[in-house]
Amino acid sequence: MKEPALPPGNKLALSALAGSILLASLGISVTTVALPTLASAFSASVQQVQWVVLAYLVSLTVAIVSAGRMGDLYGSRRVLLSGLVLFTLASIACAVAPSLGWLVAGRVGQGLAAAVLMALPMSLAKGLIAKERMGVVMGLLGTMSAIGTALGPSLGGALIDLLGWRSIFVLLLLCALGMMAIAAMGIPKEKGPATTTARMDWAGSLWLCLALLFFAMSATGGKVGMAIPVWTLLASTAIALAVFVVFEMRASHPLVPLALLGSRVLASSLTMNLIVSAIMMSTLVVGPFYLAFGLGLSELMTGIVMAVGPAASALSGIPAGQLTDRFGTDRMLLAGLVLATGGLICFALLPVRVGIPGYVMALVLTTPGFQLFLAANNTATMAQAPDAQRGMVSGLIGLSRNLGFMTGASLMPLLFASLLGDQEVASSSTFAIGEAFSHTFLLAAASFGLAMVVFFVGRKRPTPISMSSTQQGMNHD
């Protein structure tokens, strides 16, 4: 199927794409502030109520590639609308949940729907938006993600204070209904037949979902009191991934054609995306410890300082896309990596010397660097994605980002804690916390050096993202 070109002046379709990303991001962040209230309402432990957030994140991660592939096979518009319907129904289930288990089940449904809302906007953008405007659109989608992440805690806190915790799910329900109407009116219907000769690779999708589920549990299990050892989960991840590869090699209509992953451009783009996403998490999961225990800030001041990051991200997203359109993806991708690396080095050097101003300065440098990289990398990857596989490629981009977030959320605090030694952070000296913080971000900057190496390797004698003639024939709509 092929989407018709977007008529000039029609902003409804663009609003639908941006709003879908905003809704999916808001679904993650708006519930974080509700966890203490939910623990009281359901007489549950912290470990139990954390699954209200984790169920959403894990289900989103395991389903995002399959969601993108379904868009390729059955039409991105149709699947996006179906995702909004599922998000609406799941929001109703959450709003009326009589127990914590019911609420977690509803969050699983929201997460599965969010996988569609995260995967398909980039895919639809390639079919609807002129190539010379793709950078701006990718920057806009990044801005919406940042706004949703930043807006969630404050909006959720206000609603809970006024109307109770169920009101946050009523808000998500109303937003989903609004987005459904905008998408139905604004996104043109696909041209071509409603069916395709290709089929959904359900076996491959199942094994990939199992591999991602085991990996997600290994990254979060230690935080939620699960009894399964991490090494068992990692071994299960490896086994499920191996079985997935075997199925993909034998499948007539593979979920992820292995030849596609062999493309140097795609492989390098996904690897860089994973590295950058993991390091992005360091400011979110390590920063609060330094602000609270290293600089002695109150919870309110810590939140205010950390809000600078999402604010800078929201403000820099569209300009990053405009620069990408004007100067090209490779230049801006490298510029983003260099700028973010400089910001990470500032994190290592400035806060321990000048305190809050140094921390804010580092955020103001690092966050636009992240946005510049994301706009350029996403634009370059989607520009070279085959039309018949663009939904799946978009899903792979989202998957690499989410895996990076989970990896960073697990490894960066572990690195920070190991640099502190045997002392707990609350009982460590200000000097020790500052030293651990500085070394953590120096290592983070070094990881960006690795991302630059991946960039140059991927761009050396670049090969386009392509499929074999056999796979093209099988997946031709």
Mean pLDDT, consecutive 10-residue stretches, the chain (477 aa), reads: 46 86 86 79 77 83 84 86 94 92 93 90 77 77 78 78 89 94 85 57 81 74 59 84 83 73 79 86 76 79 77 82 85 90 91 89 89 86 75 81 77 80 74 87 88 79 45 40
pLDDT at 462: 47
pTM comes to 0.76
Cross-strand partners of 60: none
pLDDT at 90: 95
Tokens, residue 353: 């010397």
- The Cα 423–Cα 351 span in angstroms is 21
Which single residue is written with the structure tokens 């998490």? 281
What amino acid occupies position 153?
P
Among the listed residues 468, 391, 467, the one whose alpha carbon sits nearest the alpha carbon of residue 83: 391
Among the listed residues 394, 385, 66, the one whose alpha carbon sits nearest the alpha carbon of residue 253: 66
Tokens, residue 232: 């068992």
- The Cα 114–Cα 168 span in angstroms is 16
Tokens, residue 146: 């940042």
CA angle 238, 241, 244 (to 5 degrees): 155
Structural contact between residues 154 and 73, judged by C-beta atoms closer than 8 angstroms: no
Instruction: Identify each DSSP E strand in 60-205 by its residue range.
Output: none
Give one DSSP letter per residue of 328-388, joined into a string. -HHHHHHHHHHHHHHHHHHHHHSHHHH-HHHHHHHHHHHHHHHHHHHHHHHHHHHHHS-GG
Among the listed residues 177, 140, 110, the one whose alpha carbon sits nearest the alpha carbon of residue 22: 140
Burial profile 341-353: b = 16 or more Cβ within 10 angstroms, e = fewer: bbbbbbbbebbbe
Work out the number of other CB atoms within 10 angstroms of the CB of residue 385. Answer: 26
pLDDT at 408: 78
Which single residue is written with the structure tokens 């459904």? 180
pLDDT at 469: 36
Residues whose CB is less than 8 angstroms from the CB of residue 93 and which lie 6 or more positions away in sequence, other chains included:
102, 105, 106, 109
pLDDT at 84: 95
Give the count of alpha carbons within 13 A of 199, CB side only.
Answer: 7
Structural contact between residues 209 and 69, judged by C-beta atoms closer than 8 angstroms: no
What amino acid occupies position 283?
T
pLDDT at 436: 87
- The Cα 112–Cα 116 span in angstroms is 7
Among the listed residues 275, 280, 474, the one whose alpha carbon sits nearest the alpha carbon of residue 388: 474
Give the count of alpha carbons within 13 A of 210, CB side only.
Answer: 17
pLDDT at 138: 81
Among the listed residues 75, 77, 90, the one whose alpha carbon sits nearest the alpha carbon of residue 24: 90
Tokens, residue 364: 């103001």
pLDDT at 299: 66
